[in-house]
Chains A and B, each alone.
Chain A
Amino acid sequence: MSPRKRLLVIDDDPDFVDGIKSILVGADFDVDVAYNPKTGLQALQAKSYDLLLLDIMMGRGAEGVMIARKIRKDPKLRELPVLIITGIREQIAFLFPGGPMHPHFVPVDELVEKPVEPKLLLERVSALLQAAEARKAEAARG
């Protein structure tokens, strides 16, 4: 058995976080939470995580995008899988007028909409974790 996977949720809506945290904990994940981008980034520096669940619309705008960009620039965090959880696709369309509905902020992200059904959430989380493991194995071989 592989050790328990450690996930970080960054989302400024404590109610929503409660709602997904309990699903993830129920599926035997270790879950840390940050309620704003600043403590979120601090947590990412302080500990190592297997996956980040990231809200896009935080604070005064799309601060989640800012986090995603920082992650991509950081050699330590670049490989971290990111599952983007966002209120609505429309909001993204507002931010990126004319852009595709699913902009790839980061190379390995997936996007789910709030609210997310437990089954779908867990499927996406496992898929991203597996893909990350496969990449790691590949890198070790190569």
Chain B
Amino acid sequence: MSGVENESRLLIIDDEDVVLDSCTQILEGGPYRLATAKDGEMGLRLVQEIQPDLVFVDLKMPGLSGFEVLERIQVADPSIVTVVITGYATVSSAVDAMKRGAYDFLPKPFTPDEFRLITQRGLEKRKLVLETMALRREKALLQEHFAAIVSHELKSPLGSVQQNLFALSQELAGSLTEYQSARLERMKSSIDVLLKLIHTWLRAYSADLEGIQQTFGPLAVGDVIAKAIEIVQPHAVRKDVEIRPTIEGALPSVSGDEGTLVEALVNLLGNAVKFSRLGGLVNVAASKDGPKVVITVADQGVGIAREDLPFVLGGFHVGRPGPEAERGSGLGLAITRRIVEAHRGSISARSELGKGSTFTIHLPALSPNANGRASPETELARDSQKEASHEST
């Protein structure tokens, strides 16, 4: 039985007996289970029945045309690899077939070696297709469960440790030496860092960023920037970095979720401060550019190397350390990008090593009389219906 499992399943659909016979002969004794069909109808039945890995289809057959058979195989199972056999070896019909999803073509007449080679290549392709599908499924599964796994396996026990440290430092207040208290404090702050890191991972992987669109309302960009500056300010003060906002007057509102938009700006401002030199300047500006509101965050810090620049917004990219060996989790900018994109905006980065970096966010501006619901809502409405339908009880 086990041998059967490893056999590749091949199907040849051709109206000429001589082709079917010679193909059968060529592959005889190999690790194949070969089926043949004399026309498209029968071929499609066999596709359902044996679920082949590789199908050869003659383009010119009476009844169902080869093209139609190809298309129906694609619909039935797009992972099946198809190769067309073409009697009239015109490039155009082969190209046509490949446009419709065929992997390769085999011009008649062909030698046994040609047939063996193309069979081998087709089966390799099939293997890759199946592997890719398996990996995609695995990735989707991981992504889906990652947040839950991390939160339960890491965050809960760490949270409990932290809770007990909180309790202990209260219970022991007064009876610890200064050195002992200092160590206790260090433990608390280390665990705090770990918890925040896990929180950041969860943010990057959780699906809830799409959900924010349901609570979009009109936001004044100036307010969002002010709130973000307020959060980053203590860090800036410690590094003697000045954050200088320039908000254009009469700026239109944007449609968005304040919490996450502030988070996006905090990430950018936090980075700008982190990678600034002592006593540096961070400029944050907002202006109107046609139908968009443009927010820029520019620092004069260490900058990003040209080869790193394309990756900084991608996720898990940890750049060169800042002036005091600062490093990020590599996720802040990826989260920022996802937040901006959830707001139907875009973000880009410019940088020069040693001179500083500028991040630019474009957000669609609300027309003055709009009430928070921007116009391109059809897609959104569908999404929210989908969300609502799987709400758990």
**Interface residues in chain A, defined as those with a beta carbon under 8 Å from any beta carbon in chain B:** 13, 15-16, 18-20, 22-23, 26, 57, 87-88, 90-91, 93-101, 114-118
Q: Is B162 an interface residue (CB 8 A)?
A: yes
Whether the Cβ atoms of A23 and B166 lie closer than 8 Å is yes
Whether the Cβ atoms of A87 and B156 lie closer than 8 Å is yes
Counting chain A CB atoms within 10 Å of each CB, the highest count among B148, B157, B166, B211 belongs to B166
Q: Contacts A13-B156, A13-B160, A18-B167 given: A96-B206 contact, CB under 8 Å?
A: no
Whether the Cβ atoms of A26 and B164 lie closer than 8 Å is no
- In the A-B complex, list the 5 residue pairs whose CB atoms are closest, starting with the nearest: A19-B163, A15-B160, A93-B208, A115-B162, A98-B211
**Bound Cα distance A115, B187 (Å):** 14
Q: Is B203 an interface residue (CB 8 A)?
A: yes
Whether the Cβ atoms of B202 and A88 lie closer than 8 Å is yes
Whether the Cβ atoms of A96 and B392 lie closer than 8 Å is yes
Whether the Cβ atoms of B159 and A117 lie closer than 8 Å is no
Starting from the known contacts A13-B160, A16-B156, 15 additional A-B residue pairs (CB-CB under 8 Å) come to A15-B160, A16-B159, A19-B160, A20-B167, A22-B167, A26-B171, A87-B156, A90-B208, A94-B147, A94-B207, A97-B391, A98-B387, A99-B391, A116-B163, A118-B170
Q: Is B99 an interface residue (CB 8 A)?
A: no
Q: Which residues of chain A are within 8 angstroms of B202 by Cβ–Cβ distance?
A: 88, 90
- Of chain A, the residue at the smallest CB distance from B384 is A98
- Of chain A, the residue at the smallest CB distance from B387 is A98
**Bound Cα distance A97, B202 (Å):** 15
**Bound Cα distance A20, B167 (Å):** 7
Q: Contacts A23-B167, A118-B166 given: A94-B391 contact, CB under 8 Å?
A: no
Q: Is B189 an interface residue (CB 8 A)?
A: no
Q: Which of A91, A93, A114 contacts B211 (CB 8 A)?
A: A93
Question: Using an 8 Å CB-CB cutoff, how does the interface string of B182-209 with A read, 1 for contact, 0 for none?
Answer: 0000000000000100010011001110
A-B contact pairs, 22 of them (CB 8 A): A15-B160, A15-B161, A20-B167, A23-B167, A26-B170, A87-B151, A87-B159, A88-B151, A90-B151, A90-B199, A90-B202, A91-B148, A93-B208, A93-B211, A94-B206, A97-B387, A99-B211, A100-B215, A114-B156, A114-B160, A115-B166, A116-B166
Q: Which residues of chain B are within 8 angstroms of A94 by Cβ–Cβ distance?
A: 147-148, 206-208
**Bound Cα distance A34, B167 (Å):** 19
Q: Contacts A90-B151, A97-B211 given: A114-B163 contact, CB under 8 Å?
A: yes
Whether the Cβ atoms of A98 and B388 lie closer than 8 Å is yes
Q: Contacts A87-B155, A88-B155 given: A96-B163 contact, CB under 8 Å?
A: no
**Bound Cα distance A109, B164 (Å):** 24
Counting chain A CB atoms within 10 Å of each CB, the highest count among B147, B167, B259 belongs to B167
- Of chain B, the residue at the smallest CB distance from A95 is B392
Q: Is B214 an interface residue (CB 8 A)?
A: yes
Whether the Cβ atoms of A90 and B167 lie closer than 8 Å is no
Q: How far is the CB of A31 from the nearest CB of chain B, in Å?
A: 12
Q: Which residues of chain B are within 8 angstroms of A16 by Cβ–Cβ distance?
A: 156, 159-160, 163
**Bound Cα distance A114, B163 (Å):** 8
Q: Which residues of chain A are within 8 angstroms of B199 by Cβ–Cβ distance?
A: 88, 90
**Bound Cα distance A52, B156 (Å):** 20
Q: Which of B160, B170, B259 contacts A115 (CB 8 A)?
A: B160
- Of chain B, the residue at the smallest CB distance from A120 is B166
- Of chain A, the residue at the smallest CB distance from B157 is A15
Interface residues of B in 342-393 (CB under 8 A from A): 384, 387-388, 390-392
**Bound Cα distance A62, B388 (Å):** 18
Whether the Cβ atoms of A90 and B166 lie closer than 8 Å is no
Whether the Cβ atoms of A19 and B151 lie closer than 8 Å is no
**Bound Cα distance A116, B161 (Å):** 11
Q: Which residues of chain A are within 8 angstroms of B162 by Cβ–Cβ distance?
A: 19, 115
Q: How far is the CB of A136 from the nearest CB of chain B, in Å?
A: 30
**Bound Cα distance A98, B390 (Å):** 10
Q: Which residues of chain A are within 8 angstroms of B148 by Cβ–Cβ distance?
A: 91, 94
Whether the Cβ atoms of A97 and B208 lie closer than 8 Å is yes
Q: Which of A23, A90, A93 contacts B170 (CB 8 A)?
A: A23
Q: Which residues of chain A are within 8 angstroms of B208 by Cβ–Cβ distance?
A: 90, 93-94, 97
Whether the Cβ atoms of A90 and B391 lie closer than 8 Å is no
Interface residues of B in 134-170 (CB under 8 A from A): 147-148, 151-152, 155-157, 159-164, 166-168, 170
Whether the Cβ atoms of B171 and A22 lie closer than 8 Å is yes
Q: Which residues of chain A are within 8 angstroms of B259 by Cβ–Cβ distance?
A: 101
- Of chain B, the residue at the smallest CB distance from A116 is B163
Q: Which residues of chain B are within 8 angstroms of A91 by Cβ–Cβ distance?
A: 148, 151
Q: How far is the CB of A65 from the nearest CB of chain B, in Å?
A: 9
Whether the Cβ atoms of A115 and B163 lie closer than 8 Å is yes
**Bound Cα distance A114, B154 (Å):** 13
**Bound Cα distance A39, B204 (Å):** 37
**Bound Cα distance A99, B207 (Å):** 12
Q: Which residues of chain B are within 8 angstroms of A19 by Cβ–Cβ distance?
A: 160, 162-164, 166-167
